[in-house]
Amino acid sequence: MAESNKQPRDKADSTDDDDDEKGQAALVQQLLNKFSGLFGSLKLDEPAEDPVLKSFNLEAAAEYMSKCSNVVVMAGAGISTSAGIPDFRSPGTGLYSQLEKYNLPFPEAVFHLDFFRTNPKPFFLLAKELYPQKFTPTPTHYFIRLLEEKKKLLRVFTQNIDSLERVAGISTDKIVEAHGTFFTSHCLDCREEYDLEFIKEIIFKDEIPHCKKCDGIVKPDIVFFGEKLPARFNDCVHSDFSKADFLIIIGTSLKVAPFNRLLTFVDKNCPRLLINMEPAGNSNQDMGFGALLYGKKANRRDVFHQSTCDEGVSELAKSLGWEDEFSKLLKSEGVSVEKVKENLSTIPNETEENADRLAAQMAKASLEDEKKKD
């Protein structure tokens, strides 16, 4: 895998400055294309001769993971559901419903840069509702922090823009925010940088933040439709996935490219654990080479544990022998898995699906924009 990462990287290094700024969606697709032909040689109806795991359940995954030191986590909207973050589309209560008075041409316009430049008010109303410090990280966020404290976490790649990984105390250098973050902002005109507190003070007055230097609009560094993914995403994909010795995929439908393709870049002997309410990533049509093979005879390393994210990591912690440490960490942060279960009953079920749908639309627009630049 290390060698396969090298070719796209060398190619990127040899291009001019414009090419260096191309979207990561195209680059990840380039990596995928390199391996796509290999899938046909895999016979899914024949048992694997050299399984990596003793069995394909959470306990066996935990036993293997206990010996690992370069765990990569791929996190989706599901890890934040129990925090009570509002969904986008529920009639009357969804965030888009709150924006109807602004006569948006379509709901997603709030995340389009051209619309934002002419009418930023709807976005900042939304930003106020999603402001990171309004929500408490979930047990899943704290489990990822425990992974770091145990010196096992190589990186967490998150699709979420809620910044709850940071709020949970995970080190910034361990986090890759694939779709950006609220924690930093930049002026659209002069690119002057501003911090979270600068934005907070202004948007909580229902005002529009403007640059102190040039009076341009200041926009949080979350990825809008058509914008390229952060450069850090590309850099860490290259540096991390060849090193990973265990992959945890949690709270994601694996429908959003290029993020969903990342699971195909770990070594063939790297176990992949999916913790999710629904099966995901196991469709050859969607994923091609590298699809998760849980439930198939040819499976060597993939485990699907069906549960909520918080319940799944609690069971994983128990299987790892970390139950007491995990409980102490949650208690020290004032978080309770039981209370989270109660809160889940009041949260719309479609939250994760809507967030994934929005991310998919943004990723698709970003890819189309990069193709135009080519």
Is there a binding annotation on residue 89? yes
Tally of residues, the chain: 374
Is there a binding annotation on residue 77? yes
Is there a binding annotation on residue 88? yes
Helix (H, G, I), strand (E, B) or coil at 60: helix
Is there a binding annotation on residue 253? yes
Helix (H, G, I), strand (E, B) or coil at 24: helix
Spatial contact of 161 and 222, defined as CB atoms under 8 Å apart? yes
Q: Could you give the maximum distance between any two Cα atoms of the chain, in Å?
A: 65
Is there a binding annotation on residue 4? no
Is there a binding annotation on residue 276? yes
Is there a binding annotation on residue 160? yes
Is there a binding annotation on residue 161? yes
Spatial contact of 297 and 45, defined as CB atoms under 8 Å apart? yes
Q: What is the DSSP letter of 136?
A: P
φ, ψ of residue 133 to 5 degrees: the values are -80, 5
Is there a binding annotation on residue 211? yes
Is there a binding annotation on residue 252? yes
Is there a binding annotation on residue 214? yes
Spatial contact of 314 and 141, defined as CB atoms under 8 Å apart? no
Is there a binding annotation on residue 115? no
Spatial contact of 41 and 284, defined as CB atoms under 8 Å apart? no
Q: Which of 179, 186, 210, 238 is catalytic?
A: 179
Is there a binding annotation on residue 286? no
Nearest in space to 364 (alpha carbons), one of 195, 250, 229: 229
Helix (H, G, I), strand (E, B) or coil at 72: strand
**Whole-angstrom distance, CA of residue 112 vs CA of residue 115:** 5
**Whole-angstrom distance, CA of residue 177 vs CA of residue 164:** 11
Q: In what order do the strands lie in the sheet with 180-187?
A: 193-195, 180-187, 218-222
Is there a binding annotation on residue 236? no
Spatial contact of 358 and 111, defined as CB atoms under 8 Å apart? yes
Is there a binding annotation on residue 78? yes
| Residue 306 neighbours by CB under 8 Å, 6+ apart | 276, 277, 278, 279
Is there a binding annotation on residue 87? yes
Is there a binding annotation on residue 240? no
Is there a binding annotation on residue 162? yes
Is there a binding annotation on residue 250? no
Residue for token digits 């922090």? 145
**Whole-angstrom distance, CA of residue 84 vs CA of residue 88:** 12
| Residue 216 neighbours by CB under 8 Å, 6+ apart | 187, 188, 189, 190, 210
Angle between the N-to-C axes of helices 24-35 and 231-240, in degrees from 0 to 180, rounded to the nearest 10: 30
Is there a binding annotation on residue 326? no
Verify whether residue 238 is a known catalytic residue. no
Catalytic residues: 179
Q: Which residues are part of a known binding site for Zn(2+)?
A: 187, 190, 211, 214
Q: Which residues are part of a known binding site?
A: 77-81, 87-89, 159-162, 187, 190, 211, 214, 252-253, 276-278, 309
Q: Which residues are part of a known binding site for NAD(+)?
A: 77-81, 87-89, 159-162, 252-253, 276-278, 309
